Each structure stands twice: as C-alpha cells, then as structure tokens.
C-alpha cells in the first residue's frame, strides 16, 4: 500500500500527471492512515503519512524554505470535523489554554501552492512547496501572473502563501487549442496549472492566464494580526488577490452548514474547488496548538464527497434482468463515494470484465458521477493479491429458468438465460410494467408487486387490472385507505397511450425511443404485432437485430396470450403522430444527464420529444445537444471534447 501511494504521489506531485484521480489516491492514503492507527508498530519513517507531498525537479533552482511548508489533514464527514475539534480541545486543555474558539472557513482551491517572498514591498522570490523543506524557484514564471503584485501597497518584508490556479475559462480555451493541435489534453485545471508553472519558457506561462489567491502570512516585519480573518483583510490591504468567499463560524454545526452550501455551489465559481479549509480563527490559539509531524493542529481540509474512490472487490455476482440478459456486478467492501455508501458496482458485461481484467480480491477505482449507477473504472494492479485468477462466466446462473443455462447473445457481447421463464424474471418484468416509464401506476411499486406475486394474486400483467379492494386488504401493511388508493391508481391506467403500452411489454431492446418510432409508424398494436422483419427494417432507427427481436416476441404463444389478456382490460388511446418538422428540435438528437431541479430526467426527455427532438443514451458524434444538469460528469466532458452544444436546464425552459 505504501509503495502504491508513493508511486501515485510521485506521478501527481512531481510529474504533474496521474493514473488514478486525486480522490482515489486520497482514499488509499486514508486506508493507510487507519491501518497505522490500528497497528502503530508498522509505522515507518518513510511512510507517506509521515511526510509532506512533493519532491524537487532539476528543472529549476532549488530554494530552501525559511518557513517549513505543511499540508493539511483531510476530513470527509461531520464526524471527522467533530474529531478535529475534540483533538484541539484535548490538546489545549492539556496545555492549560482556552478551548472556546471560532472557525474561519475558506474555499480549498484546486491548484498549486506558491510561497512568495517580498523585501521592502518588492517581489524577490516565488517558490513551489516541493517537499516542504526545499522547493523550486519559479519567480520568473510567477512574475507573469497578473494577480501576483510585483510591488505591494506598503513597503513591508515578509513571506506569504497562496494558491496558483487556472481559471475554468482559461482551461477550456487551452484544451480546445491543444485538441486542435493534436496535443494531449490536460486532465483538469490543477494539472494544467502545475504543468504551466514548470514551463522553462515564461511566455507560455503568460499566455495561459493563471491566477493566484494569497491566503496566509507566514512571516512579516511587524505584528501578524490577531485572527485569521484580520490576516486576510491585511493581505487585501497589501494588494494581494484574496478570495472573497469565506465565512466566520461559531460552531462545527455552522461550519458543516457552510460546507454543504459550498458543495451545492461549487460548480458555479470560475475556478475549481475541491473542499473547504477550516482554521481556528484566533492566532494565539493557532500558536498554542502548533503542528504535528506533518500538519497544523489548528486547521483541516474538509473535502467534498469524492466521485471516485478505491475499494476491494469481494465477489463478482451475476444479475438476471427482466429480458434474461446477465449483468455482472462487483460486490464491494462498502465505501463512501459522492456522498453515498456504495457496496455494489456494475461491470456491464463479459467484454468489460476482460478489458479491465477485474478479479475477486482486486483493489479497484470506482466512480459515481451525479446520480449515475456506480461503475468500476480501473484496477490498481500493484495491489492485486497473489494467485488471483481471471474471471470467467459460468455455464449456469441461478435466476434463469430451466436448468439455469446461459448463452452468448448473437451479435452482442452480452450473455442471457437460455430459458427465460423464471420467477425472478417474471417479477422484474412486472416491476418494469408498473414503472414510471411504462404504465406508471400510482402506489404500485416493486415491493407490492412482489407481495402480489408471492401470494399468487398476480402472475401476469392482466391480473393487476382485476385486483379487488378485499384482495389488497389481505396484503401486509394495507389498511382501508391504502387499499382504496391502490385500486383507484390501477383504474386510472386502464386507458393508456400506445407508446407506454409498448414499453410495458418488455420486448428485448425496445425502449422509449423505439416505442415512439413504432407508434408513429404503425399507429396501432394490431399492426405492430403482424409486422414482418422487412416491414420493421424500413423504419429509420430500427436495425435487423431489433427487428428480429420484435417479430420473435410477438411470434411466441406465451407473449401472445399475455397481450390478448391485457387488451381485454386495457384501452389503448388513438395514437396521433405530430408534424415534428416544424418544431424547434426537429431532427436533433439530445442527451440528458445530471440532476435537474424543475423536473425529473424522464420528464425532461418527454419535453424534448414534445419539441420534436430524439433522445440519445450516450454522447457521440451524432449528438446535437447535451442537456446538462448538476453533477453532469463524464458525459459533459465528452460533449465538450466533441464540440457538442451544451444546454442548461434554463435553456430548455426558455425554449418551452
């Protein structure tokens, strides 16, 4: 674990590159810290927990720091914040100091630390943090950054600490140019800023438009202010660029509330932040607390929930879907990512397992962007256990019908059940039938469907529409009112649109877009059920495999019986195809991602269709618009790379 962390710390802090994200590296460091706390006899002087990150490159002159440079301990939860306060309280009580204090909260800028030395008000040296004792002289490059004053407003001498960063606008502009020139894109603004500051040609630095917030006085001739907030005021008076986004808090609860507020706004700023730095405001209290071997006791970095982290694969299980398709799932050591605890992550299919070479016992990087299902994105190969073996799909899977045999789907990378008549699949089909995408029956969710099937009241979709109030009352947890509401919710959906009816049938590969294509082309379920493969292939957007799946579904006697029984209880509304050519999104393919505030993603897709647009599932060269909500994740980055038009939720609302 130490060797793995040191490898990635060297890539990140010295070479300004990365194989795994900083968030994933943080989780490895956190694991090591917890192991060393549990087994203190295993701590060694060269452990990553015992030193400050970074090393000196040979590109620049070495600078020995007059004031040692520290890094902050990290916190990820309110409990961590409370522990920070408790440690400070205990230390101060032990040394007979006052334990009642306020906190100053500042944004943690995602950039590169710089130490600026001024003599009689004039900039003389700028250095990187390096290993905390020795850094690199980057004065020539720092002088090109317009937010770093060459002369202060007062003729004072001192050492000041700040963060050099690349604004988002500069980052996007540079990556656009690098893409045009066929150069490798910067992974993020932090890497871009660090790489820029190590350029030997200062004219390149000047063109990249870096900026620098200064946030601390390490040394000054004269008295340092009594509080951190007053220190920031003095820095502004001296002419430094100081971040205005900060708040003085009386309690840890106030700190946490401000942290949560910052988390919701973090994407609104013109620069990247990855958390908040919390400092005890009083200078005398800071001095009384002092430092541990590597970090101040009076401050902590409260990090935002990681969208990537590391954990261990305990097992690989196979999940049977409603159409019999097998999805491999990584069963994980539970871990917090993007603010939620994750214990399972999709591995998609056999090809993805082979590509990643995921094995039981592996340490893996998992990712969760926005409300997307967590997925395994990488294996940390150096952490692989000895004698591990590659994963191979078994011949049989519990949850399939018959003897459980599985087969490769022709022309695809997926596996599926040979016999697709198991009870598990029947339940999943009914879960989908009543879901929001299909019949959207109010009050009838998976848990109640399971109860109805377990008691034998429902075995097929049509049975739902002959349920009685008395039968509903026989279910666990149902009272008079809830039973009445369920029966009323079912009655409300005895008339349904053709599109929703088709979706509810669970035909292989037929989702919302294909259902809309079928409805627009054939207008009725009777015409659709008698279509040939040739008829379907003529529909723009339906290929040979999908056409064969549709024809095969209607050909099977079991499905025909399900359909006839359903039509005996449900009326399908007449389908009217609109003239979409005159609508504003006619011919446009729109992908929706992230969290929206005005409506759900499904509702947003319906609105796009109302405007004549088609919905895409992934961003590609054929995507015209990406509708991006909060926490848009990798789809947003891909859309930017491809030059796809990006819409906010407000853009859609304006068009509506």
Q: Which positions are annotated as active-site residues? A: 108
- Number of Cβ within a 10 Å radius of residue 336: 15
Alpha-carbon distance values, 375 to 329, 356, 362 (Å): 9, 12, 14
Structure tokens, 67: 């004031």
Cβ–Cβ < 8 Å for 375, 345: yes
Cβ–Cβ < 8 Å for 571, 494: yes
Structure tokens, 371: 């409300």
Q: What is the DSSP letter of 14?
A: I
Residue 156: closest CA among 121, 122, 115, 117:
121
* Cα 418 versus chain centre, distance: 36
Structure tokens, 284: 């005398």
Cβ–Cβ < 8 Å for 107, 273: yes
Phi, psi of 46 (to 5 degrees): -95, 10
Residue-wise burial string across 339-370, b where 16 or more C-beta atoms lie within 10 A, e elsewhere: eeebebbbbbbbeebeebebbeebbbbbbbbb
DSSP string, 155-175: ---EEEEEEEE--HHHHHHHH
- Number of Cβ within a 10 Å radius of residue 19: 14
Cβ–Cβ < 8 Å for 399, 422: yes
- Number of Cβ within a 10 Å radius of residue 482: 15
């Amino acid at each position: 674990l130490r060797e793995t962390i040191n490898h990635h710390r060297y890539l990140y802090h010295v070479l300004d590159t990365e194989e795994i994200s900083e968030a994933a590296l943080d989780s490895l460091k956190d694991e090591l810290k917890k192991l060393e706390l549990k087994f203190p006899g295993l701590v060694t002087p060269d452990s990553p927990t015992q030193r400050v990150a970074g090393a000196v490159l040979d590109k620049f002159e070495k600078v020995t720091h007059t004031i040692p440079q520290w890094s902050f301990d990290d916190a990820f939860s309110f409990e961590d914040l409370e522990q920070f306060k408790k440690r400070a309280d205990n230390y101060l009580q032990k040394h007979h100091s006052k334990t009642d204090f306020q906190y100053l909260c500042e944004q943690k800028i995602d950039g590169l630390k710089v130490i600026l030395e001024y003599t009689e008000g004039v900039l003389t040296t700028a250095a990187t943090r390096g290993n905390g004792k020795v850094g690199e002289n980057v004065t020539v490059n720092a002088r090109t950054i317009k937010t770093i004053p060459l002369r202060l407003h007062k003729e004072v001498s001192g050492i000041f600490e700040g963060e050099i960063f690349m604004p988002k606008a500069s980052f996007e502009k540079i990556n656009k140019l690098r893409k045009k020139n066929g150069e490798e894109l910067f992974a993020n603004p932090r890497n871009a800023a660090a790489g820029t500051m190590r350029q030997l040609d200062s004219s390149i630095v000047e063109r990249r438009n870096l900026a620098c917030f200064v946030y601390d006085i390490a040394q000054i001739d004269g008295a340092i202010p009594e509080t951190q907030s007053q220190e920031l005021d003095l820095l502004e008076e001296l002419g430094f660029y100081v971040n205005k986004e900060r708040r003085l808090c009386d309690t840890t609860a106030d700190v946490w509330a401000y942290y949560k507020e910052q988390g919701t706004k973090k994407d609104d700023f013109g620069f990247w932040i990855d958390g908040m730095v919390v400092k005890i405001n009083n200078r005398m209290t800071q001095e009384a607390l002092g430092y541990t071997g590597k970090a101040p006791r009076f401050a902590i970095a409260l990090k935002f929930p990681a969208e990537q982290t590391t954990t261990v694969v305990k097992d690989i299980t196979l999940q049977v879907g409603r159409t019999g398709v097998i999805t491999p799932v990584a069963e994980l050591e539970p871990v917090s990512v993007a603010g939620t605890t994750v214990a399972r992550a999709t591995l998609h299919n056999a090809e993805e397992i082979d590509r990643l070479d995921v094995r039981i016992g592996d340490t893996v990087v998992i990712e969760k962007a926005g409300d997307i299902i967590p997925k395994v994105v990488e294996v940390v190969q150096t952490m692989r256990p000895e004698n591990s073996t590659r994963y191979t799909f078994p011949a049989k899977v519990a949850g399939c019908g018959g003897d459980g045999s599985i087969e490769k789907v022709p022309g695809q990378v997926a596996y599926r059940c040979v016999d697709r008549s198991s009870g598990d699949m029947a339940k999943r089909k009914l879960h989908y039938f009543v879901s929001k995408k299909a019949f959207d029956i109010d009050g009838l969710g998976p848990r109640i469907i399971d109860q109805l099937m377990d008691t034998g009241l429902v075995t097929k979709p049509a049975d739902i529409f002959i349920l009685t109030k008395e039968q509903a009352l026989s279910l666990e947890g149902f009272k008079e009112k809830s039973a009445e509401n369920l029966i009323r919710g079912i009655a409300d959906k005895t008339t349904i649109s053709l599109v929703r009816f088709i979706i509810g049938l669970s035909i292989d590969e037929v989702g919302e877009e294909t259902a809309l294509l079928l409805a627009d082309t054939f207008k009725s379920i009777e015409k659709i059920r008698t279509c040939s493969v040739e008829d379907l292939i003529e529909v723009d957007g339906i290929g040979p495999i999908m056409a064969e799946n549709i024809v095969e579904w209607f050909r099977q006697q079991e499905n025909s019986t399900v359909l006839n029984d359903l039509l005996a209880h449900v009326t399908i509304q007449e389908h009217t195809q609109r003239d979409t050519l005159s609508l504003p999104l006619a011919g446009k393919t729109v992908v929706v991602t992230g969290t929206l505030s005005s409506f759900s993603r499904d509702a947003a897709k319906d609105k796009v269709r109302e405007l004549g647009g088609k919905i895409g599932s992934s961003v590609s060269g054929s995507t015209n618009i990406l509708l991006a909500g909060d926490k848009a994740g990798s789809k947003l980055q891909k859309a930017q790379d491809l030059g796809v038009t990006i819409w906010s939720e407000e853009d859609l609302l304006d068009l509506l």
